[in-house]
Amino acid sequence: MKKLHTSLTIALLRARETTMGFFRPLLNKHGLTEQQWRIMRVLLEKNTIEFQHLAELTCILRPSLTGILTRMERDGLVLKLKPTTDQRKIYVALTDTAREMVENMADEVAAAYQKLEEQLSVEKIDQLMALLEEVSQLQVPESEPLVEDEA
């Protein structure tokens, strides 16, 4: 059997799981899922954003995002807005309650980052972020269309 390359994707998943270990207890303490936190982080930066763009920036599939946002809206964390000019589009924004929650979590988030930086260093984190940004900008080859067998 031909030897396979080291799996970059598995290494990235392991690194994600390790780094989330610094933040997962904090999210659990505040009753947030990782996906909800990603949404809140993006909305903090963007204020109001169109649903499709939010799905892209959070790396959450649209069907999953629909359910997550429905629960977040029910819990008073987000508002879903429909412009009067185009009812097909949905925009999402954080509520004041969610903004206050994030503000109250800020010191704990900073402490989690501090623990991560103590083990890895700010310089290495900066290097890693730059490399990950480069990877994110790669041009993915288009996949070939599936061909159905003719009967």
For the stretch 28-74, pLDDT in tens is 999 999 999 999 999 999 989 999 999 999 999 999 999 999 999 99
Residue 145 has pLDDT above 80, yes or no: no
Instruction: Give the per-residue pLDDT at 4.
Output: 67
Whether residue 147 is contained in a domain is answered as: no
Residue 141 belongs to a domain: no
pLDDT band, very low/low/confident/very high, at 85 (cuts 50, 70, 90) = confident
pLDDT of 84: 80
Query: Is the pLDDT reported for residue 150 higher than 60?
Result: no
Angle at the Cα of 137 from the Cα atoms of 12 and 16, rounded to 5 degrees: 20
Domain of 113: which CATH number? Answer: 1.10.10.10
13 occurs within a structural domain: no
pTM (2 decimals)? Answer: 0.83
For residue 146, is it within any domain? no
User: Would residue 14 count as lying in a domain?
Assistant: no
Query: What is the Cα–Cα distance from 89 to 115, expressed in whole angstroms?
Result: 41
Asked if the structure places residue 77 within a domain, the reply is: yes
Is 1's pLDDT higher than 80? no
As for how many domains the chain has, the answer is 1
